[in-house]
Structure 1
Amino acid sequence: MGNLMDLRPSFLKGRTPSGKSSRDVLQKLWRSVDLPDESLEHVVLTGADPVVPSSFAVGTAAQASMAAAALAAAEVWHLRGGARQQVSIDMLHAAQECRSHFTINGVTPNPWDPITGVYRCGDGGWVRIHANFAHHRDGALALLGCPTGDGATREAVERALGRWKALDFEQVAADAGMVVSAMRSFEEWDRHPQAQAVAAQPLLTIERIGEADPRPLPRYGQDARPLKDIRVLDLTRIIAGPVCGRALAAYGADVMLVNSPQLPNIDNIIDTSRGKLSVLADLDTADGRIALGNLLRSAHIFVQGYRPGGMSALGFGPQDAARIRPGIVYVSLTAYGTSGPWANRRGFDSLVQTATGFNHAEAQAAGQETPKPMPMQILDHASGYLMAFGAQVALARQATEGGSWHVRVSLAQTAHWLRGLGRVEGGLACPMPGFDGLMEAVPSGFGELVAVRHAAQFSETPARWTRPSSPPGTHQTVWPFN
């Protein structure tokens, strides 16, 4: 499986095969949820793929998904009585923001564990192991009979996987709750029942799940940001969900990141926590669940990235949240969607890239045998902005129509959408750009943070983060008084 020897790319230079631009992609997204065309007259999108080295339209995906989220914020502002305003996004800036580059006290963190990566198996196939969390790393190593902890080495993993077939190890790892993907070609993925389940679903769904009176959004002066006084509970980790919360915070929301004291985080929390309150609540305890329930009763948006069924088991699934807080906008992120044989399977951006054919296709385009990832975690970032987009669309519907709403996004559905944007001939020859002129230095609870400014520019209500990123537990589990 995943043979890389057929190196025959056939792409159309600089455009997708259908000639779609970022504006075309944004327009389709916008109209898919019945938003007014008038808003599209107020968006300016500059740049064209390739802006980073990839044979995929990753710049278009970054720009269009971010533009959808930002333009939705402007639409909410218009709903609150503000004048329509221009939203501008440059493709290179959007793509660079999606690379998650930052320094803290002058040091660039490396989130990748040495065991994380791709390995050749005994049948010639490849697997990717995600080992950035110690329990995932040691669990995968234990399955292979390799030393764990400080004794773990890539060489030992390579020897052990030489005795496995790629698909077999993927399945055994999944059965054990580990995070491993076998590399597939697009053709192999398309034959998989999960691919067919994903293809049958829209990019994102916005579903009314309960009855509630409309909660009209208060109006403010023209200097307020679009989401002023909107309360968002952010129960997500890693990248996609945190990017959603960070975007909503940039547009003015009070975003509260809720971490468990029992769960680890990666260094990206330093970057993705910009603009957020940061609290601790152990949902495995009664006190933690009571604290979350109290916060939920006056929240507008609830964002969660637990695997399907995880929040329901804790008493905070979509229907639970709608009962506790009628009129809630509930946003769910999954790896592979909510239907199909992999609906409950754990996954991360890099694993979904591998399983769904992107690493194989990128390697083919590069003329190399080793699987090749895309130049950023684009599935994570685009999914995060699509979550923010859907959340704001549902917020506007709640304010005008009433009801409780459930927004669903998955990394695999975002991957399917990205693939549909087509390929970029010569994209891999594009040099990796630098970050000159895009960075800002700000104080944070972790030290001096230098990170990419938000790429979405608003003519009337500039996006910004008014709260510094802070370690989990910095704040109390109470909403700020507004």
Structure 2
Amino acid sequence: MDHPSLTPPEGKHELTRWFTRQIWQSLGEPSSGADCLQVSGDGDLGTPFPIADLAAASFAVSGLSVASLLNAAGLDAPPVAVDRLESVAWFDVPMAPTRYIDEPDRHGIHSRWMAEYLTADDRWIRVQASFPSLRRRMCEALDVAEDPGEVARAFRAQTAEALEHQLVDAGAVAAIGRSLAQWRESDQGRAVAAEPIADVRTTTSRSARWSPHPLRPLLGVRVLDMTRVVAAPMATRFLAALGAEVLRLDPPDGDEVTMMKANDIVIGKRWAVLDAKTPEGRARYRELLASADVFVHGYRPDAIDALGFDVDARAEISPGLVEVTLDAYGWTGPLSHRRGFDTILQFATGLAHEHARWANEDPGRRLPLNSLGHRVDGSRPRILPVEILDFSTGYQLAAAAINGLRRQLMTGKGSLTTFSLARTSTLLAQPEFTARPEVIDLPLPLPTGTRVHEMNRRPSRRLEFPVRVDGVDLYWDRPAEDAGSSAPQWATTRAGQDR
């Protein structure tokens, strides 16, 4: 599918509004719904892509969905405002919004196992092996010890194409650094370009079990969270900030269970461990699914099905369920079931290559600092200063969930909405868009709220949300907790339903 010819929007903040309309329309909403959006904040990160505009638009659609929900409940639709620079700050790594009082200047997370290696044919491959299971698969496929030096030598001994296939077949995560043109001309790039930003389908029906409250719109909503890493957890965290009860489930041997402590990803949620592969675990999972209002998951497309609950079974178990999910490489095409993460997709879809090419194009160009205090090296593919694909897609997922709840409230119908990181990359990398001249560095010095919170037994404050819905109080009423701190059951009961 050829990319459409676009006229780049002109005028201050018009690109933010353009992105907002594209996403909003893909969610099945009228483009006029974005006309009243208030946008503030100037500057961008100094890359070839309009990162701040997409970041702000992703927050904007989540805010517009809240306003639309309240309007459907018979209330006046409140004004929605978004700040571009605050949005970028929330997309910084590690995950906003916590700012430790005793360490105000935070620095990004760096892992030696999130890296790129040069191959025998002088190409670069990016790997994501920070999780033990992924690192084990990679090293077993290469027949080396878990040592970065040995891994580098193994990569240098083979060609990129052979290595990528070898690693992916072993269940590891890797991607060759390709150009934008190479991605667009590939079978997978063409398949993703033909997909909508959001694919929305209606499913079975039931009567709504709740009604929105003007201050806490999702109070009483149950969200079953089977998400991983960054993108989908951003969605459920936003739903929790609106008052929803979010129950995250992880398998007992999951990487994040064994590696992660309480952190920003799980603020506002209860975090339980459940082995859904056992008969008892499947029964408990079925009960939770039957009593959920929203189901958000970010596993590979066939992972939930493999538990014995495919999409038709889920709709039958929980009529009217609002289901939202994503994958990495898109839902069609030859790579649709491949594992992937934000930085992996930046390599695969050409963002990293274009970032380095752009940096090398003008030696006098001021390049931005990222959270690690590093500037872009134009000699190799380089990831963007923030994980734009993860975070942007995550807040689009949140908007889809809220819009699904609105439709459920009005019609009783459930829905299934799918996204992909690759499609978000395609949206960002429109050929007609050019870099903005204003360059800002990370981390941005943004004000925090006055309330003091606990995070890992340390005092902290939180950044204000970059999206504001007039009259709606966005906050979390639960601190972050470790995996297994909560039982796999709902905290509240409903008449006629088990916990």
TM-score clears 0.5: yes
- Kindly state the Cα deviation for residue 104 of structure 1 after the two structures are TM-superposed: 6.3
Give the fraction of aligned pairs with identical amino acids, expressed as a percent.
Answer: 29
Secondary structure of the residue aligned to 1:480 is coil
Amino acid at match of 2:82: I
Structure 1 Cα separation of the partners of residues 18 and 479 of structure 2: 36
- Kindly state the Cα deviation for residue 431 of structure 1 after the two structures are TM-superposed: 2.9
> In 2 relative to 1, CA 414–219 (structure 1 residues): closer, same or farther, beyond 3 Å?
closer
> In 2 relative to 1, CA 33–180 (structure 1 residues): closer, same or farther, beyond 3 Å?
closer
1:158 matches 2:152: yes
Confirm or deny: 8 A CA contact 2:23 2:198 kept in the other structure: no
Amino acid at match of 2:479: P
- Kindly state the Cα deviation for residue 479 of structure 1 after the two structures are TM-superposed: 1.6
1:471 matches 2:478: no
Of the three residues 380, 383, 386, the one matched with 1:373 is 383
Give the corresponding residue for 2:129.
131
Q: What are the equivalent positions in structure 2 for 1:38-77 lying under 5 Å apart?
A: 39-50=33-44, 52-77=45-70
> In 2 relative to 1, CA 26–127 (structure 1 residues): closer, same or farther, beyond 3 Å?
same
Secondary structure of the residue aligned to 1:310 is coil
Give the corresponding residue for 2:273.
280
Give the corresponding residue for 1:172.
166
Q: TM-score by structure 2 length?
A: 0.86
Q: What are the equivalent positions in structure 2 for 1:5-20 lying under 5 Å apart?
A: 17-19=8-10, 20=14
- Kindly state the Cα deviation for residue 354 of structure 1 after the two structures are TM-superposed: 0.2
1:241 matches 2:232: yes
Confirm or deny: 8 A CA contact 2:87 2:466 kept in the other structure: yes
1:192 matches 2:186: yes
Structure 1 Cα separation of the partners of residues 432 and 464 of structure 2: 28
Structure 2 Cα separation of the partners of residues 177 and 419 of structure 1: 28
Q: What are the equivalent positions in structure 2 for 1:388-403 lying under 5 Å apart?
A: 388-403=398-413
Give the corresponding residue for 2:142.
144
* CA deviation string 1:132-157 (max 9, x = no partner): 11121122123223212xxx13x322
Of the three residues 89, 97, 104, the one matched with 1:96 is 89
Give the corresponding residue for 2:329.
336
Confirm or deny: 8 A CA contact 1:446 1:469 kept in the other structure: no
Q: TM-score by structure 1 length?
A: 0.89
> In 2 relative to 1, CA 92–268 (structure 1 residues): closer, same or farther, beyond 3 Å?
farther
1:251 matches 2:242: yes
Give the corresponding residue for 1:201.
195
- Kindly state the Cα deviation for residue 320 of structure 1 after the two structures are TM-superposed: 1.7
Query: Which structure 2 residue ranges, 5 or more long, are not aligned?
Result: 1-5, 361-377, 494-499
Secondary structure of the residue aligned to 2:205 is coil
Query: Which structure 1 residue ranges, 5 or more long, are not aligned?
Result: 1-14
Amino acid at match of 2:134: H
Amino acid at match of 1:476: A
Structure 2 Cα separation of the partners of residues 168 and 297 of structure 1: 45
> In 2 relative to 1, CA 120–17 (structure 1 residues): closer, same or farther, beyond 3 Å?
farther
Confirm or deny: 8 A CA contact 1:350 1:373 kept in the other structure: yes
Secondary structure of the residue aligned to 2:238 is helix
Give the corresponding residue for 1:11.
none
Of the three residues 259, 278, 303, the one matched with 1:310 is 303
1:225 matches 2:216: yes
Confirm or deny: 8 A CA contact 2:9 2:18 kept in the other structure: no
Confirm or deny: 8 A CA contact 1:206 1:394 kept in the other structure: no
